[in-house]
Structure 1
Amino acid sequence: MTAWILLPVSLSAFSITGIWTVSYNESCSPDPAQQGGPKTCCTLDDVPLISKCGTYPPESCLFSLIGNMGAFMVALICVLRYGQLLEQSRHSWVNTTALIMGCTNAAGLVVVGNFQVDHAKSLHYVGAGVAFPAGLLFVCLHCVLSYHGATTPVDLAVAYLRSVLAVIAFVTLV
């Protein structure tokens, strides 16, 4: 069962690599200043936003793949974590709510990945509006579960670390 630790690590590695691959593309609309030459960024302000860069082929295919594969891995992580806490006799509404929020996050990621911002803007933004807050709530609920289940100083340190990371995630979300 210890090999499952590779799942969150591979989710991060896969997502970060895929996002950077999609963000730096050459398929954006041409820059009028360069007489028809391609732009290297996908926004008006020349900031490579993943949602905008993932609109154009072939990057749109990779963007959908990242969203769907990431959503699957998030759902799998949520189910495994839920089961892990059940094995530790933590039958609580917080654990169940965390599972629901994690799966809601995964559903939002599927919507974001499959409906590109230039073609279905409202659906894309609804998916993002569901995915990001649900993911943040999932993290916050696991902070609570970490504090309640801390039995050793290492467990308490992990709870503090999760809390710090949750605050950083909240600040970046806002």
Structure 2
Amino acid sequence: MVWFSGNCSPERYSRSFDSNFILGDGPWGPSAAEPLKENFADTIAKGKVTQASVTHILKDRTVLIQKLSSQTTVGKRLGLRMMSVYAGLYLRLCKHFKDKTKQIVLVITIYNWVQASGMDGKKCSVWMFLPLVFTLFTSAGLWIVYFIAVEDDKIFPLNSAERKPGVKHAPYISIAGDEPPASCVFSQVVNMAAFLALVVAVLRFIQLKPKVLNPWLNISGLVALCLASFGMTLLGNFQLTNDEEIHNVGTSLTFGFGTLTCWIQAALTLKVNIKNEGRKVGIPRVILSASITLCVVLYFILMAQGIHMYAARVQWGLVMCFLSYFGTFAVEFRHYRYEIVCSEYQENFLSFSESLSEASEYQTDQV
């Protein structure tokens, strides 16, 4: 059984479901539940009410409700009413358990059923699109830079076995975006990507802040991603031929701290386990982090040996793995909604000493 997560008590869900049982008139109102009550009464009389039996019945009802709700808007409304009827009936079974622990377990089972049915009324947050936009926009922009450079014969294609006549360089990303017009697109894409990565870093830090006991790992993830974003601005604004040293520093910051960020976020994902999706999201992130680390090692080895064609291919694969990793944050961002609160600044606040003096004067006047 999957246990519910959150700060709400089982008793709260019990009261919520109990109130939802009063549905009013209609095809799924209380009158429709009378035959079901008789069946439950027989089950109770036979002493067959267990958590396993209720869970099995709930799974059958889930299939029916999901089929009903997936058809039309009217079907979804009927599915909601139907779910409320079943939930109310099952909660009444709790009263037949003398053990309070079994009552709470049964309430949790019903709550999990509501979540699994997809009928709890929750929608995905629009913030889930931010990592997806970052991934799609950046990857599309970099491939546009690549095709511009290939079209202008600045680099040879990635699938070429040998250099074409007249082509100057290997298809590294930095070389592809080294000269206009590709350099203009490259700088714009990398700067926008750095900004979006910084926003993702801050939102991720805020998301995990109340959930981690030791904040040092969360802070380390924020700092590492901020440094990687800063490195992206360096390699995007300082082209390779204009200032090679600063460009290489930016590349090292991006790849180095980016790899560190991937491992930190993978560890946090498994540790925090948001909405019981820690393993579902954490294992792919561990695999991507291992792939990124392997690509970084291979990239520098091939560069040192002068095997530029394979080094360029590894570099493109490395960047695509990075972008895919950032896209996975959409899974957790869909559960959260972020707001920016703006309040008016009050300039006429009294200082602490002034407030004490006024309070003493008031007391003197009263005496």
TM bracket, shorter-chain basis: 0.7 to 0.9
Q: Residue 115 in 1 paired to residue 235 in 2?
A: no
Shift of the 56–157 alpha-carbon distance from structure 1 to 2, 3 Å rule, reads same
The residue identity in structure 2 corresponding to 1:17 is A
Task: State how 1:94-173 maps to structure 2 within 5 Å.
Answer: 94-150=217-273, 154-173=277-296
Secondary structure, in 3 states, of the residue corresponding to 1:24? Answer: helix
Q: Report the 3-state secondary structure (helix = DSSP H, G, I; strand = E; otherwise coil) of the residue aligned with 2:171.
A: coil
**Distance of 1:89 and 1:145 partners within structure 2:** 8
For residue 88 of structure 1, report the CA deviation from its aligned partner.
3.0
8 Å Cα contact 1:27-1:57 kept in structure 2: no
TM-score by length of 1: 0.85
Work out the CA distance in 1 between the residues paired with 2:283 and 2:184: 39
The whole-number CA distance in structure 2 between the counterparts of 1:170 and 1:30 is 26
The answer to whether the aligner puts 1:18 opposite 2:145 as a matched pair is: no
Match for residue 8 of structure 1 among 131, 134, 147: 131
Alpha carbons 2:155, 2:175 under 8 Å: kept: no
Matching of residue 51 in structure 1 with residue 174 in structure 2: yes
1:59-115 Cα shifts (integer Å, max 9, x gaps): 111110011000000000000000001143555100001000010000000001001
| Shift in alpha-carbon separation, 1:7–1:29, aligned structure 2, 3 A | closer
How far apart, in 2, do the equivalents of 1:76 and 1:30 lie?
33
The aligned amino acid for 1:27 is D
% identity of equivalent residues: 28
Gaps of 5+ in 2: 1-123, 157-163, 298-367
For 1:72, the equivalent position in structure 2 comes to 195
Q: Does 1:27 align with 2:175?
A: no
Per-residue CA distance 1:140-163 (angstroms, 9 max, x = gap): 111111121127763222211111
Give a deviation string over 1:123-142, Cα, whole Å, max 9, x none: 11110001111011111111
Asked if structure 2 preserves the Cα contact closer than 8 Å seen for 1:140 and 1:166, the reply is yes
Worse-matched range after superposition: 108-117 or 155-164: 155-164
Q: Distance in 2 between matches of 1:71 and 1:129?
A: 15
- CA contact 2:155–2:176 (8 Å) conserved in 1: no
Asked which structure has the greater CA Rg, the reply is 2
Structure 2 length normalisation: TM-score?
0.42
- 1:28–1:123 distance in 2 versus 1, CA, 3 Å: farther
CA contact (8 A) 1:105 1:135 kept: yes
Sort the Cα spacing of 1:67 and 1:152 in 2 relative to 1 into closer, same or farther, 3 A.
Answer: closer
The one-letter code matched in structure 2 to 1:86 is: K
Q: 2:198 is aligned with what amino acid? A: A
- Note if contact 1:108-1:130 (Cα within 8 Å) is conserved in structure 2: yes
Question: In 2, are the aligned partners of 1:64 and 1:114 still within 8 Å (CA)?
Answer: yes
* CA RMSD in angstroms, aligned pairs only: 2.3
